[in-house]
């Protein structure tokens, strides 16, 4: 009886010509081997013709979609890798340009965090030579040109400092009344304020917090005044009502 | 290959679409799960597309089936396979049978013409089944099967012979009824 593996290989056409001829010769002399070869061949034929092919159109369409996605991704990757430095430069340029443009087109814009910085960046307080009232002109020289501040006599200024936030001149007064210390920040232009909300019952005042401390803001045509102290908004509003540009 | 990007895609798609039924069919016969088979076939297509520039241009179908087989062996089989008893290349090995929980083949394949064959095939141990599928259903040569399954040609020969022998036993009645086997042709 012939080697079974050789018989399978013969049916599969996987033998060398020489070995194939030997098997062929041997098959002609053995009915059993011939039947076996025919059976293998029949099984092979049955498997080739009777097995079903799965419907695959829907699955193929999914594959095509995946290929499309891959192509898109590759395209983007190619563009990005080629132009990444230029993209980064352009983006940086846009950011800088936008920042500059924003600053130039809206010079009065200032946010609450900026205000906090504003208070912190001012020069150290220097004590006045003597206790002064707000209505003393020499305190106001250079602050708001010819304008003048007036306060009730009992609000006493104890110190003053100057500074700038984003090119905007700021003057800070350290004052005191019977309820304690008050910081008054005076800016010589009208500001567009963020983080401050209109105060109920006071049409000209905004209220908010600066570094967690209550603050009311009084705005005028050419000035903005911040009253900051650890007090209620109503108390701050009362102080504000006594402070004005004259 | 001297293809432009678009030509490459068109060339791949044209050839892949032609062999996709074989890819999906082989995946179904290996995984015994429609969902896994779709994943496997899709993954194979994506891998093939990624590697298409390196394809030597000889037999695309054999190359695709090699990718499917490798993916299945490396990924899906580890997940699906239960404990293996003995060596599959050993003629006397104890043969694990397919899980009873697996889907009936008439549900996996879309018509009932070959359902009996598919059911018998599903019960053949995996390595023998894979060799028979690649040889008798997909028409790959021994060398191509050896490349796809990463075993020597001698092992391929024995797996094919063993797989066919098991199938013959299982399909004897069917083959006689259908006229593929004559009386007295049984082993």
Mean local confidence (pLDDT), A77-95: 83
Residue pair A3/B161 in contact by the 8 Å Cβ criterion: no
- C-beta atoms surrounding B124 within 10 Å: 24
| Domain regions of chain A by residue span | 4-50, 109-245
Model confidence over A148-183: pLDDT tens digits? 454 445 677 777 777 777 677 788 888 888 888 888
* Model confidence at B97: pLDDT above 50: no
Which chain A residues are Cβ-neighbours of B135 within 8 angstroms? 12
CA distances from A87 to A50, A74, A84, A94, B2 (A): 59, 17, 5, 10, 31
A108 compared with B14, residue with greater pLDDT: B14
Interface of A with B (CB under 8 A): 4-5, 8-9, 12, 14, 35-36, 38-40, 42-48, 50-56, 59-60, 62-64, 66-67, 70-71
Domain A109-245 has CATH 1.10.3720.10: no
SS3 state of residue A165: strand
For A26, phi and psi rounded to 5 degrees? Answer: -65, -35
Model confidence over B40-58: pLDDT tens digits? 999 999 999 999 988 988 8
* Range in A131-145, A184-198, A213-227, B102-116 with the lowest mean pLDDT: A131-145
Which chain A residues are Cβ-neighbours of B16 within 8 angstroms? 63
CA distances from B43 to A88, B6, B36, B47 (A): 35, 21, 10, 6
A238 compared with A21, residue with greater pLDDT: A21
User: CB distance B42–A59 less than 8 Å?
Assistant: yes
- pLDDT range class, residue A130, cuts 50, 70, 90: very low
ipTM: 0.77
Model confidence over B122-165: pLDDT tens digits? 999 999 999 999 999 999 999 999 999 999 999 999 999 999 99
All structural domains of chain B: 5-82+98-177 (1.20.140.160)
């Amino acid at each position: 009886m012939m080697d079974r593996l050789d018989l399978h290989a013969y049916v599969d056409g996987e033998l060398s010509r020489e070995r194939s001829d030997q098997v062929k010769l041997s098959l002609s002399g053995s009915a059993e081997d011939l039947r076996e070869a025919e059976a293998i061949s029949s099984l092979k034929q049955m498997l080739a013709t009777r097995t079903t092919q799965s419907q695959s159109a829907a699955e193929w369409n999914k594959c095509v979609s995946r290929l499309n996605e891959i192509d898109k991704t590759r395209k983007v990757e190619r563009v990005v890798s080629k132009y990444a430095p230029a993209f980064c430069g352009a983006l940086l340029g846009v950011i800088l340009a936008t920042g500059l443009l924003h600053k130039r087109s809206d010079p009065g814009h200032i946010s609450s965090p900026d205000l906090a910085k504003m208070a912190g960046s001012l020069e150290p307080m220097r004590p006045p030579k003597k206790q002064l009232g707000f209505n003393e002109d020499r305190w106001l020289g250079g602050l708001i040109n010819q304008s003048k501040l007036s306060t009730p006599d009992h609000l006493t200024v104890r110190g003053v400092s100057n500074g700038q936030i984003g090119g905007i001149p700021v003057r800070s007064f350290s004052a005191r009344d019977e309820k304690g210390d008050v910081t008054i920040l005076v800016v010589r232009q009208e500001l567009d304020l963020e983080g401050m909300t209109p105060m109920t019952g006071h049409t000209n005042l905004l209220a908010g917090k600066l570094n967690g401390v209550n603050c009311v803001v009084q705005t005028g045509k050419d000035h903005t005044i911040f009253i900051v102290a650890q007090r209620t908004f109503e108390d701050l509003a009362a102080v504000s009502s006594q402070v004005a540009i004259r | 290959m001297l293809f432009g990007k678009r030509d490459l895609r068109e060339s791949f798609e044209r050839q892949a679409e032609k062999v996709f039924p074989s890819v999906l069919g082989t995946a179904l016969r290996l995984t015994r799960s429609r969902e896994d088979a779709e994943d496997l076939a899709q993954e194979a297509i994506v891998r093939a597309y990624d590697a298409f520039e390196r394809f030597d241009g000889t037999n695309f179908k054999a190359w695709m089936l090699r990718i499917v087989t490798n993916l299945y062996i490396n990924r899906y089989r580890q997940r699906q396979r239960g404990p293996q008893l003995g060596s599959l290349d050993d003629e006397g090995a104890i043969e694990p049978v397919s899980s009873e929980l697996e889907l009936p083949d008439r549900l996996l394949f879309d018509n009932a013409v070959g359902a009996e064959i598919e059911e018998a095939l599903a019960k053949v141990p995996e390595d023998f089944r894979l060799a028979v599928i690649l040889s008798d259903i997909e028409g790959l040569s021994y060398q191509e099967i050896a490349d796809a399954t990463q075993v020597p040609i001698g092992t391929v020969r024995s797996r094919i012979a063993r797989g066919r022998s098991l199938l013959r036993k299982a399909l004897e009645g069917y083959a006689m009824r259908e006229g593929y086997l004559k009386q007295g042709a049984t082993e």
